[in-house]
Structures are given as structure tokens and as C-alpha cells.
A and B are shown apart, each in its own frame.
Chain A
């Protein structure tokens, strides 16, 4: 079956050409692809390029961008607008600044709906889907009355409101504390399972990606240096940069073999969850990680 998205793209900003150089990857139907790289490596630029929002920042994208058998880079602007939000959803990094401070949450979500459809959706059900209190009172709040985690859930709700085939999440948890972070990851995982949405999950943190991505692509200075299944990346990293990333994962003391008793919550929780999800065998890959 064709992948949902196939990209072979380069991108330039006016004063900085070659931010992306022939970045090539594909996302299968229902797949979660993790995109990992240090800050400045061009992760956000990839997200902007896939939606062609890079143009509104003065940049330019080249190459090939096949989405559901259309080349998005060749689409006229009006048609591209219909793809945004309806067929490809985007969740931005800083939840509080991505919400308009002078619009109530309900109005804000309605805006996302009205961009493509008439009438109004069942907002309370939508809130419930992203584990927000399904109360009219919540819809009347302003963004400043929300916690960061709640704001992030609102953004996710707006991104999936039209049930897009592809969801792009640009470091959606980097502003959150570890517990909320784990909850949001679980939410993405369940959206993926319930709606079959493919997800491009962007992060600078290899470990958090490992817990729920099917495949991982490693980005370094605008190029993909390695892409493989999560288990293979952890078991058998090829590129020196991948090996360095694995070696840099912090390891809690004395609990490599007994993860369940591990006092380091953040670390063990993501690993445990990955084990629950049956995606890879934690101990194996962790031993690998510690050896590499």
C-alpha cells in the first residue's frame, strides 16, 4: 500500500539556504514516525515544509511531497489551504502562545472547525476525547486560565477535529512536566489506535520517542542520517550520531535489570509503557543502549 506521505524535500530561508538538504522519508498508514534531532537541526522546518507554511515565513521548499497521491508542492495556494487542518493536522510546540489570548477556548476550537466546515461539531465530545473536562464552563475560559497541559490538549483537539490522515506534532511535550508529558504521549498513542491517524512525532528526546513510535528517523544538520524501526535503532545503531544520542540517554543508578522497582519515575514510566505497548523489549534495548 502507498504510504500516506512520501517526502524528498529541501528547504531554504532567504538568509539561510539549505536548511534542509534532500530530506527523504515516508510515513505509512497508521504509522507513528519519530523524528529526532538536536535543536537547530531543522525539525520545525520539516513540519513547516510539509504544510507549506514555510512560505508564510518567507522560505521556499523544493523537491517532492506526495500526500495521498498528490504533489503538495505543486498545489495552488487555495487547494493547499484545504489540506491544512483538514487532511494534515499540526500541533505546535508552545501551547500557550499558540492559542489566541483574546479568544475563548470554545471560539478557538470553532475557528478550527469553521475553516473547513459549516455548523459546529460536538465540542464536549471532542473535549472528552482529549481527556479535558467536557463542561461548557471549560469552553468559556480564556487561554490564560488553562494549565500548559490543558492548553496542549486543546491544541491536539483542534488538530484532530477534522480527523486528518496525518498528524504532525512538533515537540508537543517539551514545555510540559514529565507526568503530563507521559499523559500526552499516551493520548497520541490512543488517537493513533482509535482513528488510525498516521503521526509524525518530532522531538529532541530519543527516549520519549522510543516509547511509542514505530519507526525513528534521526536528523542532523538538515539531513536524515539514519532511519529504522525503533527496536533496530536501539539495538543496532549505525550512524555515529545515533550512537552518540543513545549514549547520552541518562541512566538511573542500579536498576538496569529491575525496571519495575526503579525510583526514577520519568525514565521507568516511559520504558514500562513501551513494554506494555509491546513495542520492544525494554531490558534488551536498554542494555544495548548502555553498551553503545
Chain B
């Protein structure tokens, strides 16, 4: 039972890797077509196969959210790790900066930054910028968690023990801190992915995600802004998003507890 969303998502991903259709090819003879054998989810107002676009969107959304989560976790471990290790004024500064940045409304910031960008940038660039922006804002809370972890590890008895053994600081970091930090880093990564997926969906719905003709889950939702397009099959991306977020929320607890 628990594995059902994961299996469905995996199927979706696999099919998206092997199917032959193209997300941009238009079928001018059947524009805005209802679901049929040929087009399981119908076509959009440009005559593009919604099912093919959903498959490609799955691949792009999951991969890019994963990459952004990786970048955010990396940034967070650098900032949080160094702050937690050095302590003192640098730590103080980092913590204050993070507090200030976290108190800003992040979705609003994302919208403004994204909206300020020129309209004529290439679709690939707009896709990259969207996820880069999310990573740039998504490292803040993870950095706080990682900093607190590093802090408590360096204050721990076993690090004191390692120092009493004469271990160098580098060795303490690699052999004693990192193994304990690993589950924290993984948890931050696995929780960031669904957050980024949902954020991209919100941006996309507002038309501020990847530019045409790139399909992402968010940009597919843009269609729904037009009430005339709000037919059942147009809601498929939402089902895919829910499935996927469900999977990631499930991964997190057991991944972390297993380590």
C-alpha cells in the first residue's frame, strides 16, 4: 500500500524517459481535443499532446527540484557548517543574516525577482533561473538546522574525547562530525525536494516558471488560469504533483531513521 505512490511515480518517470513523443510538436488537426486513445489527456489550445507534456514535465520537475535541493543543501552545509564550527562573530553574523532573510516573505520575493526579469530570455535560461532562485532562498532553514547540529557535535563528549586523544581538527571533522551530520544533511535534502516542487507549481500557475515551450508541472498548471480550460483532464499535473510530494514525504522518515 505504502509503495503505491512511489511505484506510480517511478512508472511515470520511466515512461517519460522512453516515450517517443515531443512536448513541442503540434497536432494542428486536433486543437483543444478531448481525451481519446490517441491523446489520453487531450490536447491543449496549441494542439500539443497533454500526456506527452505531462511526462516530460515529470522528468524536468523532479530532476530540477532534486538538483536545486542538492544545491541548497550544499550551500546550507557550507554556511551552517562553517558558522557552527567557527562560532564567534562569524557565527553571529550568519545567524542574524539568516534570521533577517527568513523573516522576508519568500514567495513574494521569488515572484518579484522572477517578474523583474526580461521577458525575452530563452526558455532554458528561465527554467534555470527559476530553480536557482528557489535554491538561493531554500538554503536558509537547512543552514540553521545544520549549524545547530554542528554546534552540538563540536560541544559533545566524543569530540572532547577525540581531542584528548590528540586527533587533529581536520580528522575530527571528517571522522567524527561528518558521519553524525549525514542523516541531518539527507533529511534536509529529502524535505527540500517537495518544497521546491510545490513552489515551482505556484510560480508556474502564475506564469512565472519556465517559459514556453518547456513543460514543467508548474507551467502546465498555467493553463488552468483560463476558466474555459478547466476541464478534468487539465488537472492531471496536480495529481502528479500530489503523488510526488506524497512520495518524498514518505521517503524522509525511513531514510533518516535507517541511518
Contact = CB atoms under 8 A, between A and B. Distances in A.
A281 interface: no
Contacts, number: 67
Interface string B146-187: 000000000011101111111110010001100110100000
Interface stretch (A17-25, A94-102, A201-209): A94-102
A84 B180 contact: no
Given A103-B176, A115-B171, A158 B160 contact: no
Given A102-B179, A102-B180, A111-B171, A83 B166 contact: yes
Given A100-B180, A102-B179, A94 B166 contact: no
Chain B interface SS verdict (over half): helix
A97 B158 contact: yes
Given A101-B180, A102-B179, A53 B163 contact: yes
Contacts of A111: 162, 165, 167, 171, 175-176
Interface stretch (A65-73, A85-93, A179-187, A191-199): A85-93
Interface residues of B, number: 18
Contacts of A90: 161, 164
Which of B156, B165, B175: most chain A CB closer than 10 A? B165
Contact of B158 (A81, A83, A98): A98
B161 A155 contact: yes
Interface in B123-161: 156-158, 160-161
Given A111-B171, A111-B175, A115-B171, A99 B158 contact: yes
A158 B33 CA distance: 75
Contact of B167 (A51, A99, A103, A115): A115
B117 to A, nearest CB: 44
Which of B160, B168, B180, B182: most chain A CB closer than 10 A? B160
B179 A53 contact: no
B187 to A, nearest CB: 15
Contacts of A118: none
Interface residues of A, number: 27
A250 B8 CA distance: 70
A287 B157 CA distance: 41
A155 B157 CA distance: 12
A99 B160 CA distance: 10
Contacts of B179: 100, 102-103
A49 to B, nearest CB: 13
Contacts of A239: none
A275 interface: no
B165 A158 contact: yes
A174 B17 CA distance: 62
A98 B160 contact: yes
B182 to A, nearest CB: 8
A82 interface: yes
Nearest to B183: A102
Interface string A187-231: 000000000000000000000000000000000000000000000
Given A102-B180, A114-B171, A115-B171, 7 more contacts: A82-B166, A85-B164, A90-B164, A97-B156, A100-B176, A100-B179, A101-B180
17 contacts: A81-B168, A82-B166, A84-B163, A84-B166, A89-B164, A92-B164, A94-B157, A98-B160, A100-B158, A100-B162, A100-B179, A111-B167, A111-B176, A115-B162, A115-B165, A116-B166, A158-B165
Interface of B: 156-158, 160-168, 171, 175-176, 179-180, 182
